[in-house]
């Protein structure tokens, strides 16, 4: 007689945990996990994941939680310095995981409808935690993404039902228009540029391991797995493997034209940061801060987006970013789908960052490969390396970058300097996220932007190989108001939150009780926020803004580029970032949105956002910019 199919299933990402440790000697770890949840558990390990099946969702989720605790313990180094010598499963488990597990007795199912799965979980699980706390504690939430449902379990039926009612309230708020799930997946493409890998075919591609001790940008990646960067040539020939230049951050005064305006006496931004984020926001002087220590519990969580699904578009040669290329076509398609989406996005925009593209969970067979082999794996739906982009720029490269921007090769001009703070808060009642931006002018805080939920619709990383900066171009969809004032009224409830944050930053007398930076000080400021509001983070930025035009070739007119070089500080780290916009191309996206509404404008022509060469022009502009910056950095270093 055929064995009946398991009634429940869960998937656990294993990261760097060896499959043998998951199974245990003679299946000992699997047996132990099964016994602790009442028996009947099966575990299969493949491609860096463990698939758990069993007779009930509660038992499977309990076992998955135990296994995740083992993965986190292993990531923290509990398994010992020699990862090849596998300890017993008990040694890899924290004490809490070795205790007997009580399978939850109560269960509820909530239909999610249009609510994105990532929004149900929240950043770092914040929404799940808030639901559990408001319901009395002890509630777990599992999202069945393929089924559009959330399963809530716990020991108390009253708590589970209360959490389910709160989640249904969030769903109803979203159904009324707060945040609609975007039905199309986020596609991520990786382009091996000719500057970094030579003309196609690129030959051998070697994934080089990176050492966080010497690679400054890698230290800002909060993932426990080994990180890699693709390099041209054989591992022993070419590529170099040198880390991006380690740095000691300097004040933002490297470029000609005077200081950055970030140094000097304490400002209202300093007080706001101490009050809201418990971080200091003075200018960076002297030795660099120690690298941030990623939290293993948050680093191993699967990455979720507003789309709910991420599609790896695979690796491409440089031609794919040109007219008619695969990456240009994917960006054009994403823009058209976003313009036609209902309810409509309030804005579509292109943004790019400089930094470094890293990869993890690289299959052994692909550590030394070729572009053709990587593309064959993508076509066969095989397992490709997973990517994570670091926005950090090595501090030692900031001064040369600013000089390059103002130099004759690029010819940019310095247009503005800003001292700003961005406060990220969540209205837990409807689970809506807001980014509230304040600009500090002569010690006075001014509300400059109120932005509600947004989502990434397509990303393309332009890879230049080890030792050089990479670039990532993003197509973004904004789901709520962007500017302060009338337009921000599109973000319901956001004005009250913005007013509370502004009140916390509107005068030195507000900061007097919070000089100690203690947790109690933060709690006092939180009392200024409306009820059921969570403060997620405070980020301070000292910006220098540059603007210029770039030749992209192929008979195309020059493209206007606006770049902000930022000294960024939050509770996790202090770092440099460089981001930019293409101001002449965002209006094309606006015309595409109007055309999709039936208002005419750009549709399928060659020049507009719906045309065949629009995306290629954007990709080539970003590629030309990062190549020019890299060439200037190399010239100054030689």
Question: Where a domain ends, among 100, 120, 146?
Answer: 100
Question: Where a domain ends, among 35, 65, 100?
Answer: 100
- How far apart CA 560 and CA 582 sit, in angstroms, is 6
Do the Cβ atoms of 321 and 245 come closer than 8 Å? no
When pLDDT is averaged across residues 2-31 and rounded to a whole number, the result is 75
Q: Do 618 and 503 have their domain in common?
A: yes
95: Cβ contacts below 8 Å, ≥ 6 apart: none
Spacing of C-alpha 249 from chain mean position: 23
- pLDDT value of position 392: 93
Of 527 and 283, which is predicted with more confidence?
527
Q: Which of 224, 221, 264 is nearest to 244 (CA)?
A: 221
**pLDDT for residue 531 is more than 80:** no
Q: Do 539 and 603 have their domain in common?
A: yes
pLDDT in tens, 1-14: 444 444 688 888 88
- pLDDT value of position 409: 86
**pLDDT for residue 547 is more than 90:** yes
- pLDDT value of position 461: 96
Q: Is residue 301 part of a domain?
A: no
Q: Do 206 and 354 have their domain in common?
A: yes
Over its C-alpha atoms, the chain yields an Rg (Å, rounded) of: 25
- And the tokens for 373? 């082999």
- How far apart CA 133 and CA 632 sit, in angstroms, is 53
Spacing of C-alpha 334 from chain mean position: 19
Q: Which of 130, 20, 10, 120 is nearest to 66 (CA)?
A: 10
Q: Do 41 and 149 have their domain in common?
A: no
**pLDDT for residue 584 is more than 70:** yes
- pLDDT value of position 65: 85
When pLDDT is averaged across residues 118-135 and rounded to a whole number, the result is 79
When pLDDT is averaged across residues 450-474 and rounded to a whole number, the result is 89
Q: Do 76 and 122 have their domain in common?
A: no
- How far apart CA 127 and CA 150 sit, in angstroms, is 13
Of 203 and 104, which is predicted with more confidence?
203
- And the tokens for 436? 């509230």
pLDDT in tens, 511-522: 433 333 334 444
pLDDT in tens, 52-97: 888 888 888 888 888 888 887 776 654 333 333 333 444 444 444 4
- How far apart CA 44 and CA 23 sit, in angstroms, is 8
Q: Do 633 and 521 have their domain in common?
A: yes
**pLDDT for residue 433 is more than 80:** no
Q: Do 193 and 322 have their domain in common?
A: yes
CA separation, residue 2 to residues 5, 39, 55, 584 (Å): 9, 20, 16, 63
When pLDDT is averaged across residues 403-420 and rounded to a whole number, the result is 91
- How far apart CA 181 and CA 557 sit, in angstroms, is 37
Kindly report which listed range (204-208, 279-283, 309-313, 486-490) carries the lowest average pLDDT score. Answer: 279-283
pLDDT in tens, 361-400: 999 889 999 999 999 988 888 888 999 999 999 999 999 9
- pLDDT value of position 607: 54
Q: Which residues pair with 473 in a beta bridge?
A: 352, 460
pTM metric for this prediction: 0.67
Q: Do 341 and 356 have their domain in common?
A: yes
pLDDT in tens, 162-212: 888 888 887 776 665 544 556 677 899 999 999 999 887 677 899 999 998
Domain count for the chain, please give it: 3
- pLDDT value of position 484: 42
**pLDDT for residue 104 is more than 70:** no
Q: Is residue 250 part of a domain?
A: yes
Residue % of the chain over a pLDDT of 90 = 23
Q: Is residue 306 part of a domain?
A: no
**pLDDT for residue 228 is more than 90:** yes
Q: Is residue 289 part of a domain?
A: no
pLDDT in tens, 253-296: 333 333 333 333 444 444 444 444 333 333 333 333 333 333 33
Whether residue 201 is preceded by a cis peptide bond, meaning omega within 30 degrees of 0, is: yes
The H or E element that residue 589 is part of is helix 586-596
Q: Is residue 561 part of a domain?
A: yes
Q: Label residue 610 by pLDDT band (50, 70, 90).
A: low
Q: Label residue 25 by pLDDT band (50, 70, 90).
A: confident
Kindly report which listed range (58-67, 107-116, 233-242) carries the lowest average pLDDT score. Answer: 233-242
Q: Is residue 451 part of a domain?
A: yes
**Residue-range definition of the domain harbouring residue 500:** 186-254+268-280+315-383+391-637
Question: How does DSSP assign 454-510, residue by residue?
Answer: EEEEEEEEEE--TTS-EEEEEEEEE-S--BSSGGGGGSTTHHHHHHHHHHHTS-GGG
- pLDDT value of position 11: 86
Q: Is residue 308 part of a domain?
A: no
Q: Which of 451, 444, 495, 501 is nearest to 476 (CA)?
A: 451
- And the tokens for 505? 């930053």
Kindly report which listed range (84-98, 316-330, 494-508, 521-535) carries the lowest average pLDDT score. Answer: 84-98
**pLDDT for residue 562 is more than 90:** yes
Q: Do 173 and 205 have their domain in common?
A: no
Question: How does DSSP assign 246-299, residue by residue?
Answer: P-----S--SSSS--S-SSS--HHHHHHHHHTS---SPP-SSPPPPP---HHHH
CATH code, domain with 169: 3.30.1370.10
- The torsion angles phi and psi of 199, rounded to 5 degrees, stand at -70, 155
* Highest mean pLDDT pick, 440-449, 536-545, 601-610: 536-545
Q: Do 44 and 111 have their domain in common?
A: no
- And the tokens for 200? 């196609």
Question: Where a domain ends, among 138, 154, 181?
Answer: 181
- How far apart CA 553 and CA 97 sit, in angstroms, is 60
- And the tokens for 153? 């379990």
Do the Cβ atoms of 192 and 315 come closer than 8 Å? yes
Q: Do 198 and 131 have their domain in common?
A: no
- pLDDT value of position 459: 95
Length of the chain, in residues: 638
Q: Label residue 106 by pLDDT band (50, 70, 90).
A: confident
188: Cβ contacts below 8 Å, ≥ 6 apart: 310, 311, 312, 313, 387, 458, 459, 460, 461
Listed in order, strand segments (DSSP E) in 126-241 are 139-144, 149-154, 186-192, 204-209, 228-232
When pLDDT is averaged across residues 608-624 and rounded to a whole number, the result is 83
Of 404 and 429, which is predicted with more confidence?
404
Q: Do 148 and 22 have their domain in common?
A: no
Q: Which of 275, 259, 255 is nearest to 540 (CA)?
A: 275
Residue % of the chain over a pLDDT of 70 = 69
- pLDDT value of position 188: 93
Q: Which of 176, 169, 135 is nearest to 152 (CA)?
A: 135
Residue for token pair 């950095």? 633
Query: Average pLDDT over the chain, rounded to whole?
Result: 74
Q: Is residue 547 part of a domain?
A: yes
- How far apart CA 244 and CA 466 sit, in angstroms, is 7
């Amino acid at each position: 007689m055929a064995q009946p199919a398991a009634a429940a299933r869960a998937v656990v990402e294993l990261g760097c945990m060896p499959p043998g440790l998951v199974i245990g000697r003679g299946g000992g770890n699997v047996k132990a996990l099964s016994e602790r949840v009442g028996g009947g558990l099966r575990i299969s390990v493949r491609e860096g994941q463990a698939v758990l099946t069993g007779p009930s969702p509660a038992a499977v989720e309990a076992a998955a939680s135990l296994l995740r605790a083992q993965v986190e313990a292993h990531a923290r180094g509990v398994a010992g310095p020699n990862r090849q010598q596998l300890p017993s499963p008990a040694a890899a488990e924290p004490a809490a995981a070795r205790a007997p597990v009580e399978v939850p007795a109560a269960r509820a199912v909530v239909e999610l409808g249009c609510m994105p799965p990532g929004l149900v979980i929240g950043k770092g699980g914040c929404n799940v935690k808030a639901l559990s706390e408001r319901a009395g504690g002890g509630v777990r939430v599992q999202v069945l993404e393929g089924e559009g449902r959330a399963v809530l379990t716990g020991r108390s039926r009253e708590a589970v039902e209360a959490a389910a009612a709160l989640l249904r309230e969030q769903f109803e708020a979203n159904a009324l228009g707060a945040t609609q799930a975007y039905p199309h997946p986020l596609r991520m493409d990786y382009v091996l540029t000719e500057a970094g890998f030579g003309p196609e075919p690129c030959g051998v591609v070697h994934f080089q391991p990176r050492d966080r001790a010497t690679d400054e940008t890698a230290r800002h990646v909060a993932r426990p797995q080994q990180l890699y960067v693709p390099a041209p040539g054989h591992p022993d020939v070419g590529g170099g493997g040198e880390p991006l230049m380690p740095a000691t951050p300097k004040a933002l005064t490297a470029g000609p034209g005077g200081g950055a305006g970030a140094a000097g006496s304490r400002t209202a931004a300093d007080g706001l940061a101490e009050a809201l984020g418990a971080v200091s926001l003075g200018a960076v002087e002297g030795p660099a801060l120690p690298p941030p220590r990623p939290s293993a519990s948050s680093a191993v969580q699967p990455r979720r987006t507003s789309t709910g699904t991420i599609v790896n578009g695979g690796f491409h040669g440089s031609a794919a970013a040109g007219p008619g290329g695969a990456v240009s076509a994917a960006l054009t398609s994403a823009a058209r789908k976003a313009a036609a989406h209902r309810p409509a996005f309030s804005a579509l925009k292109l943004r790019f960052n400089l930094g470094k593209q890293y990869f993890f969970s690289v299959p052994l067979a692909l550590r030394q490969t070729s572009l053709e082999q990587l593309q064959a794996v993508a076509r066969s739906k095989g397992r490709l390396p997973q990517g994570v982009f670091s926005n950090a720029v090595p501090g030692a490269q900031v001064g040369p970058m600013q000089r390059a921007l103002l130099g004759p090769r690029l010819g940019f001009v310095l247009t503005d300097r800003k001292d700003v703070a961005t406060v990220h808060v969540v209205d837990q009642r409807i689970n809506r996220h807001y980014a509230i931006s304040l600009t500090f002018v002569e010690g006075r805080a001014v509300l400059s932007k109120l932005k509600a939920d947004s989502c990434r619709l397509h990303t393309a990383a332009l890879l230049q190989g080890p030792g050089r900066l990479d670039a990532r171009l993003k197509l973004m969809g904004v789901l709520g108001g962007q500017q302060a004032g009338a337009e921000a009224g599109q973000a319901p409830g956001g004005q009250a939150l913005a007013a509370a944050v502004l009140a916390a930053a509107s005068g030195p007398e507000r900061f007097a009780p919070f000089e100690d930076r203690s947790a109690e000080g933060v709690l006092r400021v939180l009392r200024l926020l409306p009820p059921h509001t969570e403060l997620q983070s405070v980020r301070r930025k000292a910006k220098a803004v540059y603007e210029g035009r770039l030749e992209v070739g192929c008979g195309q007119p020059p493209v206007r580029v606006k770049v902000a070089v930022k000294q960024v500080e939050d509770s996790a780290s202090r770092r440099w970032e460089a981001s930019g916009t293409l101001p002449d191309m965002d209006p094309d996206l606006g015309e595409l949105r109007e055309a999709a509404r039936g208002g005419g404008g750009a549709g399928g022509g060659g020049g507009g956002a719906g045309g065949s060469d629009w995306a290629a022009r954007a990709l080539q502009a970003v590629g030309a910019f990062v190549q020019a910056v890299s060439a200037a950095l190399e010239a100054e270093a030689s």
